[in-house]
Amino acid sequence: MSVNRDQRVDLEVVANLIPPRSRVLDVGSGDGSLLELLRDTKQVDGRGLELSQRGVNECVARGLSVIQGDADTDLEFYPDKGFDFVVLSQTLQATRNPKLVLDELLRIGDRAIVSFPNFGHWRVRASLFFNGRMPVTKDLPYSWYDTPNIHFCAIRDFVNLCDELGATVEKATALDAAGQKIGLSMPWWFWNFFGQQAVFLLRR
Amino acid sequence: MAALRAGKTNNEADNPSSPVLRFGVDQPLKLDAGTLLSPFQIAYQTYGTLNDARSNAILVCHALTGDQHVANTNPVTGKPGWWEVLIGPGKIIDTNRFFVICSNVIGGCLGSTGPASTNPATGRPYGLDLPIITIPDMVRAQQMLVDHFGIEKLFCVLGGSMGGMQVLEWASSYPERVFAALPIATGARHSSQNIAFHEVGRQAVMADPDWHGGKYFDYGKRPEKGLAVARMAAHITYLSEAALHRKFGRNLQDREALTFGFDADFQIESYLRHQGMTFVDRFDANSYLYMTRSMDYFDLAADHGGRLADAFAGTKTRFCLVSFTSDWLFPTEESRTIVHALNAAGASVSFVEIETDRGHDAFLLDEPELFAAINGFIGSAARARGLSA
């Protein structure tokens, strides 16, 4: 939906958080990579919601249960706790109302898994600081005028939002530029500086 | 000539070229109108072989003026089956793999009991003495046909438009008998605009003096003009403004200039007249009234206290819905309403909207994206059902 799938180092991390045979809703399922991975490796009962018609048609042609819809407006049609996990990968920053969307994820799923590009990463900071221009990096390849990413946040911002929504962070992972996990013992500020991507497992 | 044609259609109505399943007075069809239809018969076609587990059956539901000849040459028109692009050996719905059933709906005119069939009480065609037939009535009859084959659970039920309504009715009323449901270009209810279109068509038939209050067969006549006009008006709703313009524009028909008269100057006029004329050769006017009425009466939510989600409560059926961007008879919003209800019911659902300017009729045409979606959906459902490739 918003980030090139070839660069989706977070998919494996997300998949590892999900036990076999779970019921999963993937919000912003793109071309279906995650759902396919989950179906083929974990026999997951997966569903998808995707904004782009092209992505949806691709998913359905691959035999995945995906509908065309908008995370901002269509999550209300899902029943409470209808899924074990609701995944929002690399999509939060592209929603109009991230707070409401996150709230809906926690309502629909027993657990929510959210991954997003960290705007607090040092490259982003350096780009803005030294160039004085909106950052364009490998993970965030868009220019300011054509980006679908309208609500960026840093890892620390996200942690604050979770607090506000009464969500408990069960697990968090930050990936550095090489896609390697950053050590668990590191403090938030360190993650916020060196984490290029973040993956959170939440419940309420 | 008209009487000859009438005779031909009558033959197909009572003694069709298809196999027929006859239900005697001991097995009446319970109708929503509050009466019983008995005796009655269902004409059907099958393709492929039912496997030992009886788990590979696909039921195809036809649209308003369709019939059971989905994948074989139509005995009345001599044309290919109406969904031969999709169904057949080696096709997307592969009859080497699946056992495909398609039956003429009750109220139709190609061999299942309808207004053109002989009423055993009078020895004359039913005409308007046939009770109003509803979509649930049609599905109830199909269920008896499926029972006849000893099939407990259909692998898939699919159809477009009125066929899609039957698919929804199947999935709602007999969820345990439908593994996968594929309603295409349809809605959970007929909109006011669609009822309006149908009413225009019915009034055109009834305004034809040859209709004779529905008893035209007693006069050796058929309301051909009225039925042709009904078909012409309906045909416009199956296309789209863009498709009409692309195909015909303002092109003139076999002439260099306007004739300043009411001949078919324009190609589109000539095309519609042809559509109307060929239609009356193959379809019974009263049956057209019954078919349109069945769609008008369809309202799945109303049958469930106004909440569409309740029509699918607890369903385990896998759904795939398809709509077309230029369909103004069943716009995407109609499918989306069903999708939201299925979401609320926690159902497994896919939904594909296909970009095309070919309008409602796109579901009958060679649409690669439609075929890709059906292929993906059927393929994954077959894996889940344990059907080998």
Residue the block writes with tokens 């002989």: B118
The pLDDT of residue B303? 93
Nearest-neighbour CA in chain B from A86: distance (Å): 13
The CATH code of the domain at B195-293 is 1.10.1740.110
| CA A117 vs CA A17, A195, B98, B245: distances in Å | 18, 9, 47, 47
Residue the block writes with tokens 């698919």: B167
Per CATH, which fold does A5-119+149-203 belong to?
A: Rossmann fold (3.40.50)
Rounded CA gap, B73 and B17, in Å? 11
Interchain pair A45, B383: CB under 8 A: no
Rounded CA gap, B293 and B174, in Å? 23
Tell me the pLDDT of chain A averaged across its residues: 88
CB A70 within 8 A of CB B340: no
| CA A37 vs CA A43, A62, A204: distances in Å | 9, 12, 26
Rounded CA gap, B311 and A158, in Å? 40
Of the candidates A57, A69, A74, which has its C-beta nearest B373's C-beta? A57
Q: Is 70 exceeded by the pLDDT of residue B10?
A: no
Mean pLDDT over B333-355 rounds to: 95
Convert B126-174 into a string of H (helix), E (strand) and C (coil).
CHHHCCCCCHHHHHHHHHHHHHHCCCCCEEEEEEECHHHHHHHHHHHHC
The pLDDT of residue B9? 47
**Which positions ≥6 away from B245 have C-beta within 8 Å?**
none
Least confident of A151-160, B138-147, B167-176, B344-353: A151-160
Mean pLDDT over B303-312 rounds to: 96
Domain ranges of chain A: 5-119+149-203
Domain ranges of chain B: 12-192+303-385, 195-293
Nearest-neighbour CA in chain A from B240: distance (Å): 21
What SS3 class is residue A59? Answer: helix
Q: Is 80 exceeded by the pLDDT of residue A138?
A: no
- Residue B87 binned pLDDT confidence (cut-offs 50, 70, 90): very high
Is B274 an annotated catalytic residue? no
- Residue A1 binned pLDDT confidence (cut-offs 50, 70, 90): very low
Q: Is 70 exceeded by the pLDDT of residue A111?
A: yes
Q: Which of B352, B333, B284 is nearest to B76 (CA)?
A: B284
Q: Is 90 exceeded by the pLDDT of residue B325?
A: yes
- Cβ-Cβ contacts under 8 Å, A56 against chain B: 350-353
The pLDDT of residue A185? 73
- Residue A178 binned pLDDT confidence (cut-offs 50, 70, 90): confident
Choose, out of A39, A60, A66, the residue to mutate when testing the contact with B (most B CBs < 10 Å).
A60
pLDDT digits (tens, 9 = 90+) for B184-237: 999 999 999 999 999 999 999 999 999 999 999 999 999 999 999 999 999 999
Any B CB within 8 A of A60 CB:
yes
Q: Is 70 exceeded by the pLDDT of residue B109?
A: yes
In terms of phi and psi (left: phi > 0; alpha: psi -120 to 50; beta: otherwise), the region of A21 is left
- Residue A127 binned pLDDT confidence (cut-offs 50, 70, 90): confident
**Which positions ≥6 away from B368 have C-beta within 8 Å?**
none
The CATH code of the domain at B12-192+303-385 is 3.40.50.1820
Rounded CA gap, B362 and B50, in Å? 30
Choose, out of B315, B350, B385, B387, the residue to mutate when testing the contact with A (most A CBs < 10 Å).
B350
Amino acid occupying residue B316:
K
- Cβ-Cβ contacts under 8 Å, B352 against chain A: 53, 56-57, 60, 68
What's the ipTM?
0.82
The pLDDT of residue A11? 86
Q: Is 80 exceeded by the pLDDT of residue B7?
A: no
Rounded CA gap, B87 and B65, in Å? 19
Rounded CA gap, A82 and B349, in Å? 14
Report the residue of chain B nearest A63, measured CA to CA: B376
Tell me the pLDDT of chain B averaged across its residues: 95
pLDDT digits (tens, 9 = 90+) for B42-67: 999 999 999 999 999 999 999 999 99
**Which positions ≥6 away from A66 have C-beta within 8 Å?**
A29, A32, A35, A47, A48, A49, A50, A55, A56, A59, A60, B350, B351
pLDDT digits (tens, 9 = 90+) for A83-101: 999 999 888 988 999 999 9
